[in-house]
Structure 1
Amino acid sequence: MVTSIILINAERTRINEVAEQLQAINGISEVYSVSGNYDLVAVVRVKTNDDLANLVTKQMLAIEGIVKTETMLAFQAYSRHDLEAMFAVGM
């Protein structure tokens, strides 16, 4: 499984529209509207690097209103939610 975080700048008048189109893409598990230097953050979980490349260079490219993206590849996950789920088995 490949996990990626994509930081997105969108045209100001299209942020909500872009977010809705992003969340409809298979492989994007979450989209957040955020404060700071970026408008949106998308969390991507796909099977392969090729799937990620296709998502970023073809599917996201087709969305009008995206001005700029920065894609970060996750190496390892540290999540309290994962630990809680693991220890909750059998309770």
Structure 2
Amino acid sequence: MVTSIILMNVDRTSINEVAAKLVEFDEISEVYSVSGKYDLIAIVRVRTNDDLSTLVTVKLRNVENITATETMLAFKAYSKHDLESMFSLGLDE
């Protein structure tokens, strides 16, 4: 499983609408509106790097009012929760 965090700048009048569109994507588990340099942060969990590439270069490109993105790959999760088992339910490896 590949986990990534996508930081987004969005047209400020469309933040709520863009967030609502993003959570409809199966690859995106959570979207946060945040303060600071970025407007939205999406948590992405996909099977492969190719799936991430498709999300970023095809699907997100078609969402209106996203003006810029920065994608970060997660190397390791440090959590009290067993995130891997939570998000791998039903996935065939």
Normalised by the size of structure 2, how large is the TM-score? Answer: 0.86
Q: How does 1:1-91 map to 2 (within 5 A)?
A: 1-82=1-82
Runs of 4+ in structure 1 off by over 6 angstroms are: none
Instruction: Determine which structure has more spread, i.e. the larger CA radius of gyration.
Output: 1
Q: CA deviation at 1:48?
A: 0.2
Percent identity over paired residues? 65
Tell me how far apart the structure 2 counterparts of residues 79 and 62 of structure 1 sit (CA, whole Å).
33
Deviations 1:3-50 (A, max 9, x none): 000000000100001101111011100000001100000000000000
- What amino acid does structure 1 have at the position aligned with 2:34? V
Q: CA deviation at 1:59?
A: 0.5
Please list every run of 5 or more consecutive structure 1 residues that lacks an aligned counterpart in the other structure: 86-91
Q: CA deviation at 1:80?
A: 1.7
RMSD (Å) for aligned C-alpha atoms: 1.4
- What amino acid does structure 2 have at the position aligned with 1:73? L
Normalised by the size of structure 1, how large is the TM-score? Answer: 0.88
Please list every run of 5 or more consecutive structure 2 residues that lacks an aligned counterpart in the other structure: 86-93
- What amino acid does structure 1 have at the position aligned with 2:61? L
